[in-house]
Amino acid sequence: MDIQAGGADLETLARVVGRVRSNIERVIEGKPDVVHSTLVVLLAEGHLLIEDVPGVGKTMLSKTLARSIDCSVRRIQFTPDLLPSDVTGVSVFNQNTREFEFRPGGVFANIVVGDEINRASPKTQSALLECMEERQVTVDNSTYQLEQPFMVIATQNPIEMEGTYALPEAQRDRFMARVSVGYPVEAAEIAMLGTHTGANPLDDLEPVTDAAEVRKLIAIVNQVHVSSDVQRYAVAITSATRRSEELSLGASPRATLHLVRAAKAVAAIDGRDYVLPDDVHRLTRPVLAHRLLPSVEAAMSGRSTAAILDAVVGTVAVPAGAR
């Protein structure tokens, strides 16, 4: 069935997204922008990297989204002794049948929560590369497809670097967006004391949608129109990062694709069946910043990657009246 991003479909999407957002905000209070970014990545078929200090709710946000959708969820605690086979699965010899049987690993779920992803070795981190990009796992020359929707939500602590392995550029590039939860405002923290000290709020959280409905919403997002002017604007932004003297590594073509796919999800959530240049512009930081590397001179001068990106984006002309 050809699903068009018409009025009725967009109303359905807005209604379901509203239910999921309200459900998440029952647990994650005072962080509407972070919740919105998480839902955008889900509908854009991307993966999310949550980077922040301990105790601000990174894992709780991941588990709350997973609990709000009635689908399979697996949590992988990344530690130095975690093996690639723990992530992807392993073939085990069955003495009864005299054949090898595949036992799926932690990635065989709709929502995969990777906690403290930078604590595992690079070899184990690389086990996620194929499944994040191609939605499949290859073990012993056999390929196994992952069920849709499939989303990896990884967390990491950027402060405590002892005993960690920085994510390589190839892995960071596979995350559609990076967000920081941040400390709650005082009123939200006081409200949290009232709701979180008596019982775990996750215990009473019920699913408000399921995997089949999420797949329908993703199909609606895919039909959102992106004009040639907006496409050129997205390419102009990523191309400008590659030319910048303050960056030693610019945005990849995959980053351009992620930027446009996320913009389509934002437009659909806002009730539009077309993407505006502003949709692309407001996503540049969460979608591009974690992929870029500042030059030695820029790093020594104290320039942050986000500040460099903002300056680069500011040099790109915004198409007028594009839709």
Cα 70 from Cα 285, distance rounded (Å)? 31
pLDDT at 9 over 60: yes
pTM: 0.89
CATH topology of domain 224-322: Helicase, Ruva Protein; domain 3 (1.10.8)
- Cα 48 → chain centroid: 2
Residue intervals in the chain for CATH 3.40.50.300: 1-223
Q: Which residue has the tokens 């709709």?
A: 110
**DSSP SS3 for 181:** coil
Q: Hey, CA dihedral for 30, 175, 201, 194, is it positive or negative?
A: negative
Question: What's 1-223's CATH class?
Answer: alpha beta
Residue 6 structure tokens:
């018409």
Residue intervals in the chain for CATH 1.10.8.80: 224-322
Cα 210 from Cα 190, distance rounded (Å)? 32
pLDDT at 214 over 80: yes
Percent of the chain predicted with pLDDT > 70: 93
The better pLDDT of the pair 100, 295 is held by 295
